Amino acid sequence: MLHFWSPHLDPAHPQDCTQPERYAIQVQASGGFLAIATDGQSLMEVPEPQLAHLFHAHEAALRAAKELNAEGRGPVDVVKIELDVP
């Protein structure tokens, strides 16, 4: 069994990611970002990346973008968002 250690993961809280970057899905046509609407069931476009749904893992954001593009809801792309973490 392989075990990988990352300095950004706290073994006591493995689900909490402490890396300062996150990933958002950007709509290529408008430059806006996707967020989860207040109903929790649909997506809405927002102008700022801070208002978008932020993914902790690049792979999860890529998977969502590929699914949206495959459904004809794109083109969308994944962008890295730098956050200030105290």
Tell me the H-state helices in the chain.
58-70
Q: What are phi and psi of 68, to 5 degrees?
A: -65, -40
The pTM assigned to this predicted structure is: 0.74
pLDDT at 1: 39
pLDDT per position as a tens digit, 47-72 = 999 899 999 888 899 999 999 999 99
Smallest CA-to-CA distance from 57 within 17, 13, 11, 9 is with 17
pLDDT computed for residue 9 by the predictor: 54
CB 3 within 8 A of CB 9: no
- Give the C-alpha distances (Å, rounded to integers) separating 64 from 6, 29, 83: 24, 18, 21
The pLDDT value given to residue 85: 58
Q: For residue 2, what pLDDT is reported?
A: 40
